[in-house]
A and B are shown apart, each in its own frame.
Chain A
Amino acid sequence: MDVVDNDAAMRKFAAGMPVPNFEETSFTRPKPLSSAKVAIVTSAAIYREGGNGFVGNDFHYETLPKDARDLKLGHLSPNLDRGGFAADINVAYPIDRLNELAEKGVIGEVAQHHYSFAGNQPETVSELRLDTGPQCAQDMLNEGVDVVLLTPV
Chain B
Amino acid sequence: MGLAAIIITPMRDAAERIKPPRALYTNFPLGLTLGKPGNADFQHKVLRAAFNLLEETQGPVISDFPITISSTVSEPLVCSLPPRVNSELHPAIDEAQALKAAYERARNKNKRTSVGMKISPDDIPEALARFAKIADGDHWDEVGFPDNSMHGTVHDIRAYYEELACELAEGPIGPWATERWFYDETEAGRLILNARRAMRDKNAPHPIWFYLAPGARQ
Q: Which residues of A contact B (CB under 8 A)?
A: 1, 3-11, 13-15, 19-20, 22, 25-30, 33, 36, 42, 44, 49, 53, 56, 69-74, 76-92, 94, 96-98, 100-101, 106-107, 137, 140-141, 145-153
Contacts and interface: CB of A to CB of B under 8 A. Distances in A.
22 contacts: A10-B30, A27-B60, A33-B54, A44-B31, A44-B33, A70-B112, A79-B30, A80-B30, A81-B30, A86-B159, A86-B163, A87-B166, A89-B112, A92-B33, A94-B34, A147-B5, A147-B6, A148-B4, A148-B5, A151-B33, A153-B30, A153-B31
Contact of A27 (B44, B59, B113, B148): B59
Nearest to B18: A19
Nearest to A14: B11
Contacts of B98: none
A150 to B, nearest CB: 4
Interface stretch (B123-131, B197-205, B206-214): B206-214
B13 A146 contact: no
B121 interface: no
A6 B176 contact: yes
A79 B18 CA distance: 22
B165 interface: yes
Q: Interface on chain B toward A: helix, strand, loop, or mixed SS?
A: loop
Contacts of A148: 3-6
B166 A28 contact: no
A25 B31 contact: no
Given A20-B18, A81-B31, A85-B31, A150 B114 contact: no
Nearest to A32: B54
Nearest to B33: A151
B34 to A, nearest CB: 5
B3 A146 contact: yes
B109 interface: no
A4 B216 contact: yes
Contacts of A74: 114, 117
A28 B152 CA distance: 39
B195 to A, nearest CB: 14
Contact of A30 (B4, B17, B31): B4
Nearest to B160: A86
B37 interface: yes
A6 B173 contact: no
A77 B152 CA distance: 10
The 9 closest A-B pairs by CB, nearest first: A83-B178, A80-B31, A88-B37, A81-B31, A30-B4, A87-B37, A150-B7, A7-B71, A6-B214
Given A3-B180, A14-B11, A82-B158, A97 B2 contact: no
Nearest to B40: A97
